[in-house]
A and B are shown apart, each in its own frame.
Chain A
């Protein structure tokens, strides 16, 4: 083989390995998401068992305002869609646009989490904290775990906005943005279960 051919071969092998690494990273992250799904399953199962254990305290009908929850749901759904638009900008290689749409997604997610904190604060102040009944313990654990995930997603998103700004849309940055998108959409899917089981079943 001539040196040129060897160089081309090496480049092809490197490109292939690079590609393999990204696929493996994406699949590994997918497996983490699935294990997280098992974690949420255990919390959903706990909530389902405890959802009628009011201990003489308030029920979901007394505590939950469905219009409030509908607004929370809309914020999270909008943030899922806006992350999608950020991914389209990534596809086109327009980094300023990626940062802008990540920013919009971040604000929507922040709005969701602030509404949730406000709701939790109101419940605790009114004396309906997690120590009040089995129902409220399970409620705070399930909804709080989801909220914690969203909070970490927001921190991650902020970090990615800085990374895109500083490093541009390099391959590692692109891989991280892809994995964050899976994480973010996954959290919206878990929220479908939360509003259906916790809020809608709790109020009906």
Chain B
């Protein structure tokens, strides 16, 4: 049947080229932060930014090349639920850190 599929990593699992591109990009995006930290000569802010930027981009690379997520209508609910989970995660982790660091500075500061 030629109709659209709702599956993540559904009927069209990409191609060898796609997986190769995903692997090479991921390897590069892993090597950059590891090299930054092992080398250790860059300013602290640059290393921090490098770690987080590389991680975010690599996660997007994995979602695109390995999990084949896109914005097509067949994947709407996969994407919507993922975005909702992302919001929950931000509130969860950000909120915990906010509360605990604030408490820390009030108790110890």
Which residues of A pack against B, CB within 8 Å?
A: 15, 19, 22-23, 26-27, 30-31, 34, 37-38, 41-42, 44-46, 48-49, 66-67, 69-70, 73-74, 77-78, 80-81, 84-85, 87-88, 90-91, 178, 181-182, 185-186, 188-189, 192-193, 195-196, 200-201, 203-204
Contact = CB atoms under 8 A, between A and B. Distances in A.
Interface in B43-97: 44, 47-48, 51-52, 54-55, 58-59, 62-63, 66-67, 77-78, 81-82, 85, 88-89, 92-93, 96-97
B92 A45 contact: yes
B37 A41 contact: no
B17 to A, nearest CB: 11
B107 interface: no
A25 to B, nearest CB: 9
Interface residues of B, number: 49
Contact of A81 (B23, B34, B55, B67): B23
Contacts of A42: 92
A67 B44 CA distance: 20
Contact of B55 (A37, A67, A77, A196): A196
Question: 6 nearest interchain CB pairs?
Answer: A84-B19, A26-B7, A45-B96, A87-B13, A196-B55, A23-B6
